[in-house]
Amino acid sequence: MRRAADVAGLLAGFATLAIVLSVTYDVLMRYFLDQPQLFVDEVAGFLQVLLIFAGAAYTFRVGGHVRVDLVTNAVRPATRAWLRVVTLLVGVVFLAIVIWVTTQSAYTAYRYGRVSAVMLYPLWLPMAFIPAGLALLGLMMVGTLVRQARLAVGPAATRTEVAPDDDPA
């Protein structure tokens, strides 16, 4: 699972690079040669979707998502452990709903042969990045949930939040 998140994270990195390069290419072509590149606007938009959703699982793995710790910092480690179990559980359920809905949207786009407005690229592909990325994030969260639940019911001394897996290896 970690490996998959790392590969997806790498993909998100390459997507960022591709956006930078393609937009730069478009600007240079438009400014100096009066040849705007129509494909760039849509491709950059699709890559942005990839960047966000492919990077979600990796960001979760290294503890990079924004967290509000106003409450968790004020309670005892054992309570914090149980709170994390609850929030992860809610998160997984919420993700399952979003994955279901976005999969349906991507499938509808495929069924109707929906395409982008200008370059007529098939839309199901960038739309499928969303449930795929979220599914990976969901699996990572389930893994953490299992570890967190074990800690929460384990010996009192070790009852606390699981640390983010920030090992870059």
Near other proteins by CB under 8 A: residue from 8, 12, 42, 56: 42
Q: Can you tell me the distance from the alpha carbon of 54 to that of 48, in angstroms, rounded to the nearest whole number?
A: 10
Binding string to other proteins for residues 61 to 80, with x set by CB under 8 A, is what? ------------------x-
Pick the piece of the chain touching other proteins (CB under 8 A) from 3-11, 88-96, 116-124, 154-162: 116-124
Binding string to other proteins for residues 16 to 35, with x set by CB under 8 A, is what? --------------x---xx
From the CB of 47, what's the least distance to other proteins, in Å?
Answer: 15
- Per CB under 8 A, 119 contacts other proteins: yes
Nearer to other proteins among residue 108 and residue 158 (C-beta): 108
Nearer to other proteins among residue 34 and residue 166 (C-beta): 34
Near other proteins by CB under 8 A: residue from 17, 28, 38, 153: 38
Give 140-148's long-range contacts (Cβ < 8 A, gap of 24+).
140/1, 140/5, 140/57, 140/60, 140/61, 141/60, 141/88, 141/91, 141/92, 141/95, 142/92, 143/1, 144/60, 144/88, 145/85, 145/88, 145/89, 145/92, 148/81, 148/84, 148/85, 148/88
- Per CB under 8 A, 168 contacts other proteins: no
Touching other proteins, residues 123-162 (CB under 8 A) = none
What are 122's strand-pairing partners? 115
Near other proteins by CB under 8 A: residue from 68, 74, 97, 117: 117
In 36-76, which ranges are continuous DSSP H helix? 38-61
* Helix/strand/coil for 150: helix
